[in-house]
Amino acid sequence: MTVSAFLTDATLCIGCKACEVACKEWNEVPADGMTWTGLSYDNTQSLGASTWRHVMFLEQPAAAGPQLAETTDPFRWVFLSDVCKHCGKAGCLEACPTGAIMRTHVGSVLVQKDVCNGCGYCVVTCPFGVIDRRPDDGRAFKCTFCYDRQKSGLIPACAKACPTQSIQFGELAELQERAQMRVHELRERGYHDARLYDPQETSVQGVHAFFVILGEPENYNFPPAPEAPTAYLKSAWTSAVICAAIAFGIICVAFAF
Amino acid sequence: MSSDPATPAAKATEERLDEIRKAAAESAPRGGRPSPAPQIRGRESYYGLPVLKAPVWTWEVPLYFFIGGIAGMSACLALVAQLFGNEAALVRSALWVALLGAAICPVFLIADLGRPERFLAMLRVAKIQSPMSVGVWILVSFSGCTFVALLANELIARGYTDILIVGVNWAGECTAALTGLILAAYTGVLLGATANPVWSHNRRALPAHFLAAALGGAAGVLELLGFLIPPTQLIGVVAAVIETLLGVHFELSRLPVNAPLHRGKSATAFRIAGVMAGPGALILRLVSDAPPVRRAAAVCFLAGSLLSRYAWIWAGRASAMDPEALFQMQRKS
Amino acid sequence: MPGLGTTYGRGGATTAPKDMLNSDVILIMGSNMAENHPVAFQWIVEAKEKGAKVIHVDPRFSRTSAVSDIWLPLRAGSDIIFLGALIRYVMENELFFREYLVHYTNAPVIISQGFHDSEELEGIFSGWKADLKCYDPKTWWYEGADQRGGQAPGGETPAIPVPDLNSYKKDETLEDPRCVLQLLKGHFARYTPDLVEEYCGISKESFLRVADLYGRASGPDKTGGICYAVGWTQHSSGVQIIRCAAILQLLLGNMGRPGGGIMALRGHASIQGSTDIPTLFDILPGYLNMPRFGESSKSLAKYIAQNSPRTGWWRNFDKYIVSLLKAYYGDLAKPENQFGFNWLPRLTGDHSHQGYWLDMMDGKMDGMFIMGENPAVAGPNSGMERRALAKLQWLVVRDLVDTETSSFWRDAPEVKSGEVRPEAIQTEVFLMPAAGHAEKDGTFTNTQRLLQWHEKAVDPPGDSRSENWFIFHLGNLLREKAKKNPHAKNAGLLALTWNYTTAGPHAEPSAEEVLQEINGYTVADRQLVPGFGALQADGSTACGAWIYSGVFPKPGENRANQRTSKDFYGHGWGFAWPADRRILYNRASARPDGKPWSERKKLVWWDCQNKKWMGNDVPDFVATKPPNYVPRESAEGDDALAGDKPFILHADGLGWIWVPNGLADGPLPAHYEPFESPIRNPIYPKQQINPVAMNKKRIGNEYASSPDSRFPYVMTTYRLTEHHTAGGMTRTLTHLAELQPEMFCEISVEMAAELGIRQGDWVTIVTLRGAIEAHALITPRVQTLAIEGKRIYQVGVPFHWGYSGLVKGDIGNDLIAISEEPNVRIMESKGLLCNLLHGRHADNTQKVRELLRAQRVAE
Ligand SMILES: Nc1nc2c(c(=O)[nH]1)N[C@H]1C(S)=C(S)[C@@H](COP(=O)(O)OP(=O)(O)OC[C@H]3O[C@@H](n4cnc5c(=O)[nH]c(N)nc54)[C@H](O)[C@@H]3O)O[C@H]1N2
Ligand SMILES: Nc1nc2c(c(=O)[nH]1)N[C@H]1C(S)=C(S)[C@@H](COP(=O)(O)OP(=O)(O)OC[C@H]3O[C@@H](n4cnc5c(=O)[nH]c(N)nc54)[C@H](O)[C@@H]3O)O[C@H]1N2
Ligand code: SF4
Ligand code: SF4
Ligand code: SF4
Ligand code: SF4
Ligand code: SF4
Ligand SMILES: [Mo]
């Protein structure tokens, strides 16, 4: 079984939003609000139940670092297309009480529309703030990794539409390697703050969608050290059991007198 | 007017442009930031937009926490009361409270679903790593056990003292008490084991807080039903003391991640709730044990612990909206 | 189009986006390529990855700038200063490609004594006819270009003299003061880096950095490419801006070579096609000049004489026009009736978009068909154009959606404001649903002159019909009416061959048949012709557009529908006119002796064994004409061009640094300010604007003075990736509308600070044509420029919004004036003056009225 992955590269992105649109076209995702934000050219703002690819537009002072190897511009404008991380250990999947969220045979994390009952627990257990409940529908939605397309040998719609190879789709190990090389090469070329965002060390246990970025992960609203909430279970339950015991004790004492 | 030469011969060198920018910045409106264009500096978040999603739960869920807790704890009270041979009426009422609670809980739980008709999908699977799944199964078994326990109890009350029925009664009450304890405690885990900063940060305190509330709540309900006996008074006092201590604890831990407990709507609610369930109830109980005062104390505690459930949800919302808190929390770890 | 047309011979882009992979340096100017041609831009990104340097010069820092190596901001409308300075830099530092210049361009050619440069005459060239406000180009001709120029094969002489450009004197040392290169040098001598700094707002250092970078992209082993689009076109000197680039590319020897050329980025998916087989009023299919009323079109012979110079490819003009007439009129086109030449209408005036809209304004037009256009939003001075629409008796709009144009009488702002009452509008509007491209067969001709066939994927919904269907059946109905009314003016209509086979429930005419007719066929046996080489002037062949000939050489061989690319240039995928040549003038990719300039930059070369040109592209040259071929004195047409003359459509086979004939505004580009400018013309104080450009001034179409204290800011307009032009195809779709949901304008941080504007505040933008409101998007991507030491603010206005669709907004073009560039008659929508008021339109009505009244008085 090969594990599919995304490598999305900010240094190749031209901010055309073709990925965002292609995703909505293929997956028939409804509109996500017609509000103008004034935040650069980003009127989408974030991933959500009705936005599964989201192109960010970072306007930064030059101090942030070079966008171009030898720029003289007083600022930089960086684009990056965000997407569900398809976590190695996925908070949403672990937490889903109905089993609606499953791990597919390509290693992606899929919400089964016909099972989800909209309990909303995945919403608070995703460490990347990706999945959300669609108000008018009641169920939770997120990137499907175009599982339907993958099953029939097609690559995901967003990757297909990307004109500049900013979204690369492929086999996990191979892409991870390519990502490393890319970052190295970029630094050689003078992008001294180029780096790879791929949280491996945390309880998320690596992601299947990682990103070549310029500057700090925080600038892209990427949690610096995301934790899969399952990491909190032990401490929470321990405390729960002890407290329960104490509570029971208190009752006994109360009645003993 | 935009075209007044500063130094007529000046050239469009970069320095010149900087001069112009400064000049313009100075002519900025009073109090106005010189550069109103949003820019992302240093390690700032993406234009201050939230990283995480806010909980979608509405008013039903906190109410469910509240009732579930009380129901669970009254099952324990019933068992212990029976163990120490207290009067049957107390046991009986406690069980009734437990069962009624167990009956109402699913209503709120289901009402909150995006697709209520699919509630049963919850029973497709049992996932130990999912507090919500655990909770659902606990609730189901709790209802079952309490029902059995109460049924047997009622039969015994009507004189059917058959050994088998007595056995079933004991078994039912023991399991009801056990599941009841978990029912009252797991809701703290449910919130604690999430990506939400303020919840996950307080994952150890949450079960304690919820259990204390359930404990005092159950006792309070029984008091209001007329059982103004020493045990309930004692439990009420202890619960209020724990609430007070927790209140102090939350006030003192000034970490940015706890901001929602110190600032804004959620904080106000949280504090009021804390005072009512903690010091408020405590003082009332200490000043006198005259029945009206005890009833007042019970009401005061119940209201407080109900409000605190809402406060926790609101705090969760506020916390999800604050990217910087999340970053700080994760940078430390 | 004439910018490239006059310089090289053809108006089309000379290269293909993919060829940019071979460039060492790429200059993108007057185009926001990443946003407006994202798919083509993938090659720029890849080229950059391969090490090419990408330069973007644009008033705004756009998505293109973001991924370019260097971005330079410039004042809208100052392009010729910048490019002139580039040319000067190349001359001063002798960076030009001498051998290329000497053999392939008219740099060494001596110009007639009568010529006087605009530098001498303070802004106008010799030959100026003040009374007619136009030039007589005679003095621009080569020394010794006599009258034998345009003699028809029939011996008929042209009404207006045509120069013989193949008999010229030249100085291969390029030293002669009257040779083109020296004239060019003198002409641009004053375009210094300091001038650029002072009037474009680009610091000297930055300019020199770019000049050196691009200037050195030259020589046997290096090439640079230039991409432009309407950021250059839509100026009162648009053609001359493009000429600057064209000259630069000749100087550096970048034409016809891999990684060189000029990538003219076209607009709509088939806008190239709509000039090849024109929707324009003054040319016939294949760039044959439309006959003008008068002497020059008295007879077919005269008309041919006018248009077929003795030498060069256009000598074949007679074959192409006669074959076109045969395609039009079939058997009724006979030698006796000059193949029906007199059935062709004659040009009597300005029937361009601007021209007929002004006529409409004056009530000179009864009705109009608008098919696939939305001028109520995208037309210049759209407010005025909407008022003009209201003067029609009837209006037919064919579109996919109910556009602002079809609903102007109902939803327009002037209607909403009560200024115009729907019941007072006489126009009867018919909205005809059109089939989209996926709902019909046909071709697109894309930005690289590539014809690509598309098959119908789904049936059009409801009553929607294809263009072919509509025109064909409309034609039938009109011909029925005409039959009943045997008026002379109907003869042409009745003579038309109008017999396409139809299929399906709606009798859809066959698109393939139309393409076959365009390809051409022999009249006698109706065999498809293999290419334009087979066309004849005796009426034995018919051809709808000679440049497309070869697209359908045999029945069943629709080359536009080829889908297997065989090589780097994509031969085997689609069909590029002419004759599937992907890089035009590619003879220039080889030395005069026929060997490649270098291994790295080879494209086509002379194969000595097989005695023919071969290589990685179809040679844009007579395949068997050896490099050392020397024509006989009496030779005509292409035979009169030597073996080292790559620009075969020109009478002299040379690339024209100097345009001796064919441009309205001069043989060399000169800088004029836009109609509205914040400064006086620094080059020609006595000649503020392009003398031949037309401002069409009238009430409702007034101009600010330059400078104008009431309108202190420079304004320009442009597109966003998220929308398409007037928005009919994007503001109507949720997943596009939501991406840019509201009208906004972009202003600099300093301007916002000075006016106390906050991010997202409403502002009102005012010009003498109108006032609109928009959100302020404040960003350092729009820089404050220092011009003449003064602070100059620029306001960026996207023009995509209107009053129909899912997302609505004020119409940017209500601010634009109707004006005409002298060669292509395009309006000046890039570079004008405006004022900007804090607050919504409603809050500013008083101030706006004052600004506009002030003008009325001034009138
Ligand atoms: N997504 C999208 N793609 C499109 C279209 C669309 O509407 N949307 N339209 C299609 C059509 S019809 C066309 S014609 C093309 C047009 O393609 P472009 O020419 O790229 O279109 P614009 O955005 O109008 O103008 C390009 C740039 O010119 C700059 N500019 C403005 N004034 C000046 C000036 O004085 N000098 C210079 N050097 N630059 C200036 C603007 O800032 C803008 O960035 O795009 C085609 N592609
Ligand atoms: N200020 C300013 N103004 C400009 C420009 C600028 O840069 N600045 N750019 C100018 C340029 S370059 C251009 S090209 C124009 C564009 O201006 P327009 O061409 O008037 O605007 P579009 O929205 O492209 O109109 C095309 C219409 O055709 C419809 N359509 C699409 N497919 C079909 C079809 O198959 N059949 C039929 N019948 N209709 C179809 C679409 O729904 C759409 O309404 O705008 C010009 N105006
Ligand atoms: S990113 Fe969130 S939604 Fe996506 S797999 Fe991970 S936890 Fe689930
Ligand atoms: S909302 Fe749906 S997907 Fe999310 S946890 Fe609940 S059941 Fe699972
Ligand atoms: S993989 Fe498919 S579902 Fe996921 S973002 Fe791309 S297009 Fe959308
Ligand atoms: S399609 Fe590719 S280039 Fe365009 S925005 Fe998405 S990632 Fe960027
Ligand atoms: S919209 Fe069509 S024509 Fe325009 S860039 Fe995309 S693919 Fe090319
Ligand atoms: Mo266009």
A193 chain-B contacts, CB cut-off 8 A: none
CA dihedral C533, C536, C540, C542 (to 10 degrees): 70
Is the CB of A43 less than 8 angstroms away from the CB of C739?
yes
Decide if B313 touches A, using CB distance below 8 A.
Answer: no
Q: Per residue in C153-194, pLDDT tens?
A: 666 777 788 889 998 999 999 999 999 999 999 999 999 999
Averaged confidence pLDDT in chain B: 90
Lowest mean pLDDT among B16-25, C243-252, C634-643: B16-25
Q: Considering only CA atoms, which of C817, C813, C678 is closest in space to residue C77?
A: C678
pLDDT reading at A63 higher than 70: no
Range of weakest confidence among C77-91, C479-493, C536-550, C640-654: C479-493
Residue of A nearest to B115 (CA): A117
- At B32 the pLDDT is 36
In terms of Cβ atoms closer than 10 Å to its own Cβ (0-12, 13-18, 19+), residue B142 is buried
In this structure, the residue with its CA closest to atom 3 of ligand 4 is A116
> Tokens at residue B315, please?
């705090």
Residue C598's pLDDT band, with cuts at 50, 70 and 90, is very high
Q: Is the pLDDT of residue A69 over 60?
A: no
Total domains in the fold of chain A: 2
Give phi and psi for A145, each to the nearest 5: 55, 25
| pLDDT tens digits for range B255-286 | 999 999 999 999 999 999 999 999 999 999 99
What's the CATH code of the domain at A122?
3.30.70.20
pLDDT-based confidence at residue A65 (cuts at 50, 70, 90): low
| B189·A254 Cβ contact <8 A | no
Between positions 105 and 144 of A, the ones with CB within 8 A of B are 115-121, 123-134, 137-140
Overall average pLDDT of the C100-116 stretch: 97
Residue C521 burial by Cβ neighbours in a 10 Å radius (0-12, 13-18, 19+): buried
Query: Do the Cβ atoms of B68 and C789 come closer than 8 Å?
Result: no
Q: What is the pLDDT of residues B201-256, one digit of tens each?
A: 999 999 999 999 999 999 999 999 999 999 999 999 999 999 999 999 999 999 99
Is the pLDDT assigned to residue B17 strictly greater than 60? Answer: no
Dist. CA C460–CA C475, nearest whole Å: 21
Residues of B in contact with C72 (CB under 8 A): none
Domain of A239? 229-257
Give the position of tokens 């398809």. A86
Asked if A59 and A180 sit in the same domain, the reply is yes
CB-ligand 2 contact for C398 (6 Å cutoff): yes
- Dihedral over Cα of B75, B79, B80, B84: its sign: positive
pLDDT of residue C325 exceeding 90, the answer is yes
* Mean pLDDT, rounded, of chain A: 94
Are A189 and A234 members of one domain?
no
Q: Inform me whether the pLDDT recorded for C254 exceeds 80.
A: yes
Q: How far apart are CA A91 and CA A108, in angstroms?
A: 13
> Does the beta carbon of B73 lie under 8 angstroms from any beta carbon of chain A?
yes
Q: Which of A130, A210, A211 gets mutated to test ligand 3 (max ligand atoms within 8 A of its CB)?
A: A130
Average pLDDT over residues B113-125: 95
Report the 10 Å Cβ neighbour count for C712: 20
Q: pLDDT digit string (tens) for A205-248?
A: 999 999 999 999 999 999 999 999 999 999 999 999 999 999 99
Two structure tokens written together for C484: 């009943």
Q: Is 60 exceeded by the pLDDT of residue B20?
A: no
Give residue C835's pLDDT band: very low, low, confident or very high (50, 70, 90).
very high
Q: Is C404 exposed, middle or buried (0-12, 13-18, 19+ CB in 10 A)?
A: buried
pLDDT recorded at residue B28: 42
Residue B173: which of B184, B161, B181, B163 has the closest Cα? B181
Residue C153 DSSP SS3: coil
Mutate to test the pocket of ligand 5, among A7, A21, A25, A26 (most ligand atoms within 8 A of CB): A26
Neighbours of ion ligand 8 (CB under 5 A): C 267
State whether A75 and A192 are in the same domain. Answer: yes
Q: Are residues A190 and A252 in the same domain?
A: no
Q: In Å, how far is C164's CA from the nearest CA of chain B?
A: 48
**With an 8 Å Cβ cutoff, is A62 touching chain B?**
no
Give the distance (Å) from ligand 7 centre to CA of residue B103: 60
pLDDT tens digits for C331-390? 999 999 999 999 999 999 999 999 999 999 999 999 999 999 999 999 999 999 999 999
Give mean pLDDT, residues C298-316.
94
A180 and A90 co-located in one domain: yes
Judge residue C68's burial from the number of C-beta atoms within 10 Å of its C-beta, 0-12 exposed, 13-18 middle, 19 or more buried: buried
Q: Which of C127, C126, C165 is nearest to C143 (CA)?
A: C165
Report the distance separating Cα C143 and Cα C178, nearest Å: 9
- The pLDDT of residue B116 is above 80: yes
Rg (CA), chain A: 21
Confidence class for position A190, pLDDT limits 50, 70, 90: confident
C721 → closest Cβ in A17, A36, A75: A17
In the predicted structure, residue C693 carries a pLDDT above the cut 60 = yes
User: A158: Cβ below 6 Å to ligand 5?
Assistant: yes
Q: Is the CB of C230 under 6 A from ligand 2?
A: yes
Q: Does B240 touch chain A (CB under 8 A)?
A: no
Q: How many angstroms separate the Cα of C615 from the Cα of each of B24, B64, C594, C629, C738?
A: 59, 79, 11, 19, 49
pLDDT value of position C550: 98
Write down which chains contact chain B via at least 3 CB pairs under 8 A: A, C
In sequence order, the 6+-apart residues with CB closer than 8 A to the CB of B243 are B209, B212, B213, B216, B274, B277, B278, B281, B282, B301, B304, B305
Query: Do A187 and A255 reside in the same domain of the chain?
Result: no
Average per-residue pLDDT for chain C: 95
pLDDT digits (tens, 9 = 90+) for C416-471: 999 889 999 999 999 999 999 999 999 999 999 999 999 999 999 999 999 999 99
Q: Is A98 in the pocket of ligand 4 (CB under 6 A)?
A: yes
C68 touches chain A (CB under 8 A): yes
Provide ipTM, 2 decimals: 0.94
Q: Three-class SS of residue C227? A: strand
Task: Identify the contact set of chain B against chain C, taking CB-CB distances under 8 A.
Answer: 1-14, 16-17, 20-21, 23-25, 27-29, 32, 34-39
Q: In which region does residue C363 sit, left (phi positive, over 0), alpha (psi from -120 to 50) or beta (all else)? A: left
What is the Å distance from ligand 4's center to A121 Cα? 6
* B14 — pLDDT class (breaks 50, 70, 90): low
Is it the case that residue B10 has pLDDT exceeding 70? no
Same domain, A233 and A122: no
Q: How far is C712 from chain B (nearest CA, A)?
A: 7
Q: Enter the pTM of the model.
A: 0.94
In this complex, is the C-beta atom of B51 within 8 Å of any C-beta atom belonging to chain A?
yes
When pLDDT is cut at 50, 70 and 90, the band that residue B12 belongs to is very low
Look at A118 and B37 and tell me if their CB atoms are within 8 Å.
no
The alpha-carbon gap from A37 to the nearest alpha carbon of chain B, in Å, equals 11
**Residues of chain C with C-beta less than 8 angstroms from the C-beta of A76:** 66
User: CA-CA distances (angstroms) from residue C140 to B106, C116, C776?
Assistant: 93, 9, 49
Q: Is A169 in the pocket of ligand 5 (CB under 6 A)?
A: no
Check pocket membership of C399 for ligand 2, CB cut-off 6 A: yes
In this prediction, residues A21-42 reach a mean pLDDT of 95
Supply C791's token pair. Answer: 């602070």
Chain A: partners with 3+ C-beta pairs within 8 Å:
B, C
Residues A118 and A234 in one domain: no
A222 and A233, same domain (yes or no): no
**Any CB–CB contact under 8 A between A233 and chain B?**
yes
pLDDT of residue C160: 81
What is the spatial distance between Cα C341 and Cα C337, in angstroms, rounded to a whole number?
A: 7
CA angle C713, C716, C718 (to 5 degrees): 155
Task: Say yes or no for a CB contact (<8 Å) between A36 and C759.
Answer: no
Per-residue pLDDT at B13 = 52
**Looking at beta carbons, which residues of chain A come within 8 Å of C740?**
36, 41, 43
C778 lies within 8 A of chain B by CB: yes
Is-contact B276 B307, C-beta < 8 A? yes
Q: Are residues A182 and A236 in the same domain?
A: no
Q: Give the pLDDT band (50/70/90) at residue B149.
A: very high
Residues A170, A156, single domain; the answer is yes
Q: B24: which chain C residues are within 8 Å (Cβ-Cβ)?
A: 749-751, 753-754, 784, 791
Mutation target for C interface from B1, B2, B14: give the one with most C CBs within 10 A: B2
pLDDT in tens, C779-796: 999 989 999 888 999 999
Q: Phi, psi (5° rounding) for residue A93?
A: -65, -45
State whether A46 and A140 are in the same domain: yes
Mutation choice for ligand 6 from A167, A168, A214, CB with most ligand atoms inside 8 A: A167
| pLDDT interval class at C221 (50, 70, 90) | very high
> Residue B32: helix, strand or coil by DSSP?
coil
Q: Lowest mean pLDDT: which of A119-133, B136-150, B179-193, C746-760?
A: C746-760
Give yes or no for C419 touching B (CB within 8 A). no
Please report the pLDDT score of residue B31 as a whole number: 36
Q: Residues C232, C235, C238, C244: is their CA dihedral positive or negative?
A: negative
Protein residue with its CA nearest to atom 5 in ligand 3:
A86
